[in-house]
């Protein structure tokens, strides 16, 4: 059974940083592209970033390009996203998903709140 | 970027009704479209990939069709557990984009 467990969310001030982690199990992590998708409170889904299975290719949504960095550690079966220069508009539940395009499995999400 | 427009954004329906949700793309995306279902407080669930391929375990009352710029998600006979918000997502090119969502509520 595929399991994705996010962690690292919390309250951060504008301009601050956070690193989100996603521990993956139940599938071949090293050969699976992965993604982050976020959802602001009461709003729709927004794709954030994707990374290839090898980690050599990464893709970002325009609003986060230059501020967020996706990465992975296949020795730990863990996906990461470093969130820098955070803004109020980045407040959302961040979901880790399996897949580089469509997301066939999702974690439970971790809430990031950007507020002073 | 490819924009996806879902309609309606909200619909009220009864148990047993046939429900159709439309997703229009701002440019052609072949069949690179997925549909998700999200219930309150839960993560989304993939229903359909490649516009019409039902994911394993998804009831056959769900179906998808379309190609190019116009796509539909149909629920042939609405069940109580189908009341949720549905999203389409284009997979044709980065940045990936989602439609705005369609909330299906009980009439």
CB–CB contact A61 B95 (8 Å) = yes
CA-to-CA dists, residue A42 to A75, A101, B40, angstroms: 36, 24, 10
Whether the Cβ atoms of residue B89 and residue B33 lie closer than 8 Å to each other? yes
Query: pLDDT value at position B92?
Result: 96
Contact B35, B72 (CB under 8 A): no
Identify the closest residue of chain A to B42 by CA–CA distance.
A108
A2 strand-pairing partners: none
User: Within an 8 Å CB–CB cutoff, is residue B10 touching chain A?
Assistant: no
Q: Tell me the mean pLDDT in the region B61-80.
A: 97
pLDDT band at A67 (very low <50, low <70, confident <90, very high): very high
User: What's the average model confidence in pLDDT over B6-12?
Assistant: 97
Q: Are B98 and A106 a contacting pair at CB < 8 A?
A: no
Is the Cα torsion angle A38, A42, A45, A48 positive or negative in sign? negative
Q: Give the separation between CA B19 and CA B75, rounded to whole angstroms.
A: 5
Do A40 and A92 touch, CB atoms closer than 8 A? yes
Helix/strand/coil for B82: helix
pLDDT for res B76: 97
With the C-alpha atoms ordered B53, B59, B62, B63, is the resulting torsion angle positive or negative? positive
The pLDDT value given to residue A16 = 98
Dihedral sign from CA coordinates of B53, B59, B60, B66:
negative
- CB atoms B95 and A46 under 8 Å: no
At A29 the three-state DSSP class reads helix
pLDDT in tens, B13-48: 999 999 999 999 999 999 999 999 999 999 999 999
């Amino acid at each position: 059974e595929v399991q994705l467990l996010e962690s690292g969310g919390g309250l951060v001030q504008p301009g601050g940083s956070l690193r989100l982690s996603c521990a993956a199990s139940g599938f071949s992590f090293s050969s699976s592209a992965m993604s982050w998708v976020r959802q602001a409170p009461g709003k729709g889904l927004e794709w954030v970033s994707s990374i290839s299975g090898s980690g050599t290719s990464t893709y970002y949504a325009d609003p986060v390009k230059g501020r967020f960095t996706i990465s992975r550690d296949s020795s730990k079966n863990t996906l990461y996203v470093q969130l820098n220069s955070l803004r109020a508009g980045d407040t959302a539940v961040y979901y880790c998903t399996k897949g580089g395009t469509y997301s066939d499995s999702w974690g439970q999400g971790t809430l990031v709140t950007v507020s002073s | 970027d490819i924009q996806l427009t879902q309609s309606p954004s909200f619909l009220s329906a009864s148990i047993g009704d046939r429900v159709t949700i439309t997703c229009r793309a701002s440019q052609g995306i072949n069949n690179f479209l997925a549909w998700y279902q999200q219930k309150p407080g839960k993560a989304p669930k993939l229903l359909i990939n490649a516009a019409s391929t039902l994911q394993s375990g998804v009831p056959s009352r769900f179906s998808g069709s379309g190609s190019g710029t116009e796509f539909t998600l149909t629920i042939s006979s609405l069940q109580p557990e189908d009341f949720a918000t549905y999203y389409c997502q284009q997979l044709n090119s980065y940045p990936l984009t989602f439609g705005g969502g369609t909330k299906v509520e009980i009439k």
